[in-house]
Homo-oligomer: A and B are copies of this chain.
Amino acid sequence: MSNAGKTGLVVTAHPGDFVWRAGGAIALHAKKGYRIKIACLSFGERGESQFAWKEADATMEKVKAGRRDEAQRAAEMLGAEIEFFDAGDYPLRLTEAHFDRMVGIYRELNPSFVLTHALEDPYNFDHPNAAHFAQETRVVAQAMGHKPGAKYTYSAPPVFLFEPHQPEMCNFKPQVILNIDEVWGIKRKTFEILAAQKHLWAYYERVALQRGVQGGRNTGKPMTYGEAYQRLFPMAMEELA
């Protein structure tokens, strides 16, 4: 397998998202030799750390440090590097500086694909905000007049939207089922780093199993664990099968 030099990018609002929703894709491509980078826009410190805030001596610094540590370890276990934007959550508030940095990452990485959130989510507005940010910076990275003179090779990559918590409520359509059988063990083990969200371990194991059944049914090839994605753009093909 010669994927040397290939890269993939994941843009995620909170730490848990890249584990539950894209952990399989990350581990799989890492194993195939891709360099995978996660742009983690917040620590989920306000809205996704209920457990931590129940500690008597919780402070914003402590909560953020705890979640950063978890996210770092989860990324490592999956085989990815991670960069934190620390943009705040609930609500996620992205600035011009974040925008420029994200454009820079696209250009540095020139990824073969980018994974991000679904376009709608009435349960969590940070998610569509992150998706919009990932999309807009992906386009701006093409603009020669953005930081003219910089040296880079960049071609806007295909976008895959990952499955939200309640897919039908987000108008999510599964168009791609990625077979994650060979890395399921890693993904499942990474769940355990997110110790405080133990109630979601079984939930997302069931999601993977349901998508596996669907992946098998739609293709006739056996699949046990799957991850569903929606494509944003047409794909070019050389052959239909």
Size class of A's contact patch?
35 or more
A203-233: which residues lie under 8 A (CB-CB) from chain B? Answer: 203, 206-207, 209-210, 213-221, 223, 226, 228-229, 231-233
- Could you tell me if A168 and B168 are in contact, using CB atoms closer than 8 angstroms? yes
- Could you tell me if A145 and B90 are in contact, using CB atoms closer than 8 angstroms? yes
In the complex, the chain B residue whose C-beta lies closest to that of A47 is: B143
- Could you tell me if A145 and B240 are in contact, using CB atoms closer than 8 angstroms? no
In the assembly, what is the distance between CA of A146 and CA of B124, in Å?
A: 15
Tell me, yes or no, whether A155 is within 8 Å of chain B by CB: yes
In the assembly, what is the distance between CA of A46 and CA of B220, in Å?
A: 20
Contacts of A175 in B (CB 8 A): 175, 231, 234-235
Q: Flag A173-204 by CB within 8 Å of B: 1 or 0 each.
A: 11111110000000000000000000000110
In the assembly, what is the distance between CA of A54 and CA of B145, in Å?
A: 10
Most buried by B among A25, A236, A238, A241: A236
In the assembly, what is the distance between CA of A51 and CA of B148, in Å?
A: 12
Tell me, yes or no, whether A84 is within 8 Å of chain B by CB: no
- Rounded to whole Å, the gap between the CB of A221 and the closest CB of chain B is 7
Given A32-B239, A53-B144, A145-B63, answer yes or no on A169-B124 (Cβ-Cβ < 8 Å): no
Contacts of A172 in B (CB 8 A): 168
Residues of A within 8 A of B (CB): 6, 8, 25, 28-29, 32, 45-47, 49-50, 53-54, 58, 60, 63, 89-91, 99, 112-113, 115, 122-125, 132, 135-136, 139-140, 142-146, 148, 155-158, 160, 166-169, 172-179, 202-203, 206-207, 209-210, 213-221, 223, 226, 228-229, 231-241
